[in-house]
Amino acid sequence: MELLAEHGYHGTGLKKILDTVNVPKGSFYNYFASKEIFVSEIIKTYNLSGIKRLDAYIETSAEDPVTMIRRIHEAIILELDAKGMKGCLMGNLAAEIGNTSHPCQLEMKTALQAWEDRFAILIKNAQEQDLIRTDIEASELADLFWCTWQGGMLKMKIDGNTDYLKKIVPIMLDTLLKPVAKGKITPI
């Protein structure tokens, strides 16, 4: 995971992977048909680890859903700062290989959907508490939120800092997703 996060799919050769984990090439091919299949399994493992942490936080938090969304992103930003802003493995791979690898694309879609589903539930709960606008479906807001976040991750890599990420969550939650007053349009 570290090699792929730092060097990307094309910059991480199979030999480097095998040398790092001290596994012979023949043994690798007993478990994986190709590097592509191996990377799809890495994406799955990476996602499951993140989802497990996310679920544990959501289950134990007594905070309102909007505060939970803020805290989740604050924690991600702290982790990005600590790791030198290498970005999210899945986001990095999506930007690099996108839909050119069917097995990797399927795992990335599954991963993104898992995160969006959880955020749609948080947003729906926030809508029920009148903390987030209700004129747009929770699933659509979750999709918008994650697309905006992923764009922010790309900007972070260009800028070399997390300043923009620190701005977009409050803009999303305090302005764009803020409840719409009856009969009024929320100013942007």
Q: Is the pTM of this model over 0.85?
A: yes
User: Is pLDDT above 90 for 91?
Assistant: no
Mean pLDDT of 58-67: 97
Q: Is the pLDDT of residue 143 over 60?
A: yes
Using 50, 70 and 90 to split pLDDT, how confident is the model at 184? low
Domain 34-176: CATH architecture, name and number where available: Orthogonal Bundle (1.10)
- Within 22-178, residue ranges assigned H as helices are 25-31, 35-60, 65-82, 89-97, 102-128, 138-159, 163-171
Q: Where are the domains of the chain?
A: 34-176
Cα torsion angle, 8, 11, 14, 19, sign: negative
The burial class, CB within 10 Å (0-12 / 13-18 / 19+), for 178 is middle
Distance CA 58, CA 69 (A): 9
Mean pLDDT of the chain: 90
Which residues lie closer than 8 Å to 162 by C-beta, 6 or more apart?
A: 77, 80, 81, 85, 156
